Amino acid sequence: MISVHIHCNNGGVEFIHAKANVTVSSIMNPVSVPHVVRDFFPLNGTVNYDGQKGPLLSVQATELYDGIFIGITMNHVVVDGASFWHFVNSWAEMSRNWPNDHQCSISIPPVLRRWFPNDTGVDQRPPTIRFQFDLDNEQNPQQTTLPPPSPLLEERVFHISSQSIAQLKANVNAEHSTTHKISSLQAVLAHIWLAMTRARRIQIDAYTTCVVPVGNRSRLVPPLPKEYFGCAVYGVVLTAKVGDLVEKGLEGTAKLLNNAIEAHDDAAIRRAWDAWVEAPKWWSRDNVPSNVMVTQNSPRFNVYGNDFGWGRPVAARSGFNNKLGGLVTLYEGSIEGSMDFEVCLEGPVLEALSNDAEFMEAFTGKLL
């Protein structure tokens, strides 16, 4: 049972304090993420559009039986994953240094200056974006509401050791003498994509899609500072016929991902921006491709360094608001060099994935 004790909304920032008769060990369920975790995140059922009038940031601190769960929701128009975790890292740093540091200083300040593709080195007005609907028309449910996630969805967290990651990376690179070496993350994503395709039992003449968020900061010319606070990420979309993907195997699938990500350079970023400004479009659960795998977050983000003064975190989980079948949320592992990923699928498909010997062979065999 969850009881909300404090609820305040001030200046676009919402804070909620709640209590739940739930233990940390139950959240770190060895089989699946319990549904109660979904209630630990605020702003469920909202979309980015709601940020016109509602809060852009909402935090819920839930007191568990033996710990504290901090659920944070931020509007994706304002930040991407890099800026989100920069904010959380800075907040944790200020919290653990208080009261010795009354100035609430942070070691890595954000860069708040706005950037646009036609940047001339001075602050400028953003370009005019003409939406194909009336932003003030609250009677347009297609654009202002979010269909609820499927009640059949379940989530499970898998852990892969640094040794297993290194082996996957070595396997896929041994087959190719390309200029661009396939990264550890690309090798892991290829492994998951293939296994998810098998678990879904898709016909070989059907298509499957993989969406990978790629950061723009370092790919722009000149690059943006890594501390740039905003949303500078793009979803690279790769679609393949199931039969072709299976035939290519792990090495070929990893190379497909590598080629698509490497092609996302400065010119590609600017082309995508120009096309979006000309004809804005966005993702929602009712227009995503079938048989899709969408990844979010990154194992490069600092999760376990977020000590608020209460000690090192024990786990990370994601909210349910944007969940869809095929969503994979990536985290750094609690052990250095390892990786965790939370997979969201319909229950029977998730069970088939967990029972896939080829899929599980790459892991430590431990489910968090």
Structure confidence by residue, pLDDT tens digits, 53-92:
889 999 999 999 989 999 999 999 899 999 999 999 999 9
Whether pLDDT at 123 is above 80: no
18-43 confidence digits (pLDDT tens): 888 888 988 887 788 999 999 999 98
pTM (predicted TM-score): 0.90
> Mind listing the pLDDT tens digit for each residue in 203-239?
999 999 999 999 999 999 999 999 999 999 999 999 9
Give the catalytic positions in this structure.
Answer: 76, 307
Q: Is the pLDDT of residue 1 over 60?
A: no
- Span 153-360: which CATH code? 3.30.559.10
Distances (CA, A) of 309 to 57, 94, 97, 98, 209: 22, 9, 8, 9, 42
What's the mean pLDDT in 162-174?
91
What pLDDT digit, counting tens, does each position of 332-348 carry?
999 999 999 999 999 99
Q: What is the mean pLDDT of the chain?
A: 86
Residue 131 has pLDDT above 70, yes or no: no
317 pLDDT exceeds 50? yes
pLDDT score recorded for residue 365: 42
Q: Give tens-digit pLDDT for 241-250.
A: 999 999 999 9
CATH topology of domain 1-78: Chloramphenicol Acetyltransferase (3.30.559)
Is the omega angle on the peptide bond into residue 280 within 30 degrees of 0, that is, cis? Answer: no
CATH 3.30.559.10 in the chain is located at: 1-78, 153-360
Q: Higher pLDDT residue, 277 or 319?
A: 319
- pLDDT at position 12, please? 61
> 103-106 — which CB contacts under 8 Å span 24+ positions?
none
Q: Supply the pLDDT for residue 174.
A: 82
